[in-house]
Amino acid sequence: MAAAAEVVHRQGVERTTIADIARAADVPTGNVYYYFKTKDDLVAAALAEHGGQLERITAELDRLPDPRERLKALVRGWVDQRELAARYGCPTGTLAAELGKRTPDGGLDAEAGKLLRTLLDWVEGQFRELELPDPDGLALALVGAYQGMSLLANALRDPDIMTREGNRLTAWLDAL
């Protein structure tokens, strides 16, 4: 599952073969099918892995006493990951974008949406605790800014974009 999450993030779902993931996990290709009946099952596992990552991050942030500090630390974490974002984009965002282009699709696209929804809800909770007006609108702005800066940093292969936008978001959080 860890190998699947990493390889799928780097190569995208469609360009990743079972053989790629098997090689990364150091198991024979055919062996994978003992644990995952189809490729989509593996993609779902990769999504779950990213979900766990997200959960660990917010759990860690929750230990901070002040909601504003939690949000600023979240932004700091994004900026810290700038090299990865500039190379491969936000794992959840790029995955959601790719899966969203599938027609019917076994619900994997909705699963990716749920991950982003989880992040949005957590951020909204922080704004709510700060008793700011329109907390869900603010959450949309913050998470949207993250997705946008990740995409631009990735498209232009420029990690500095993450730093610059991170500074702007931090100032914005302070001014709210």
Partner DNA sequence: GTCTATAAGCGGATAGAC
Partner DNA sequence: GTCTATCCGCTTATAGAC
The residue range among 52-60, 70-78, 122-130, 164-172 that interacts with a copy of itself, by the rule CB under 8 A, is: 164-172
The residue range among 25-33, 40-48, 61-69, 162-170 that interacts with a copy of itself, by the rule CB under 8 A, is: 162-170
Q: Which of residues 33 and 172 has its CB atom nearest to DNA in the complex?
A: 33
Q: Which does 106 bind (CB under 5 to 8 A by kind): a copy of itself, DNA, none?
A: none
How far, in Å, CA of 45 to CA of 68, rounded? 33
How far, in Å, CA of 20 to CA of 42, rounded? 12
Most distant CA atoms of the chain, gap in Å = 55
How far, in Å, CA of 139 to CA of 141, rounded? 5
Q: Does 164 bind a copy of itself (CB under 8 A)?
A: yes
Q: Does 88 bind a copy of itself (CB under 8 A)?
A: yes
Q: Which of residues 33 and 88 has its CB atom nearest to DNA in the complex?
A: 33
Q: Which of 25, 27, 73, 140 binds a copy of itself (CB under 8 A)?
A: 140
Contact partners, residue 142, CB within 8 Å, separation at least 6: 71, 75, 123, 169, 173
Residues that bind DNA (CB under 7 A): 16-19, 27-31, 33-34, 37-40
How far, in Å, CA of 110 to CA of 102, rounded? 11
Q: Does 132 bind a copy of itself (CB under 8 A)?
A: no
DSSP states along 13-55:
STT--HHHHHHHHTS-GGGHHHH-SSHHHHHHHHHHHHHHHHH
How far, in Å, CA of 57 to CA of 91, rounded? 14
Q: To the nearest whole angstrom, how small is the minimum distance from the Cβ of residue 97 to DNA?
A: 19
Q: To the nearest whole angstrom, how small is the minimum distance from the Cβ of residue 80 to DNA?
A: 32
Burial zone of 23 (CB within 10 Å; 0-12 exposed, 13-18 middle, 19+ buried): middle
Binding site for a copy of itself (CB under 8 A): 10-12, 14-15, 88-89, 93-94, 96-98, 100-103, 109, 112-113, 116-117, 120, 137, 140-141, 143-149, 151-152, 154-157, 161, 164-165, 168
